[in-house]
Amino acid sequence: MELKPYRDNVGALLFNADGLVLVARRADLPNAEGAAGGWQLPQGGVDAGEDLRVAVLRELAEEVGTDKAEIIAEYPGWLTYDFPPELAARGFRIAQKYRGQRQRWFALRFTGTDADIRLDADAQPEFDAWRWARIEELPGLAIAFKRDIYAELARAFAHLAAR
């Protein structure tokens, strides 16, 4: 596993006007053990040569169907996690190719309305449900191998959750 590279990735904490963060339930992990239904923050891979700020807005549009957001903060460094070996064994393609993900996280202000969130915007939706959550809920919603990152994000961006 250590010989595989990390995949470059961006993630989004999308804050609404009430200081809540958008979380979405993975369509392929609706009952993931220990993941409270597979809830996560929008995230995705970075294309070769792509600017990270462009990538996070693209991923947000692809995964939750909206581009109604503006970047308000950026985590100052990269955060990494390793995929559990069982993901590769279960045929999860990305875990077969990569050791894990190296992520740059952004906080964004949502400038739209709830009607602008469209999980069906992509032909193969990654998520089947979404909701607004308090930032301190994030670690408890995360699948085990992402929990430390979500705890760090909740700490680092807590000041943005104030209305």
CA distance 158 to 136: 8
Is residue 1 domain-resident? no
Residue with tokens 């607004």: 132
Calpha distance 2→119 (Å, rounded): 34
What would the two tokens of residue 56 be?
Answer: 């996070």
CATH number, position 124: 3.90.79.10
Residue 32: per-residue pLDDT: 47
Please tell me the total count of domains within the chain: 1
Residue 28: domain span? 6-161
Question: Which of 21-30, 37-46, 64-73, 102-111 has the lowest average pLDDT?
Answer: 21-30
3-state secondary structure of 21: strand
- Mind listing the pLDDT tens digit for each residue in 9-60? 999 999 999 999 999 998 876 454 444 458 999 999 999 999 999 999 999 9
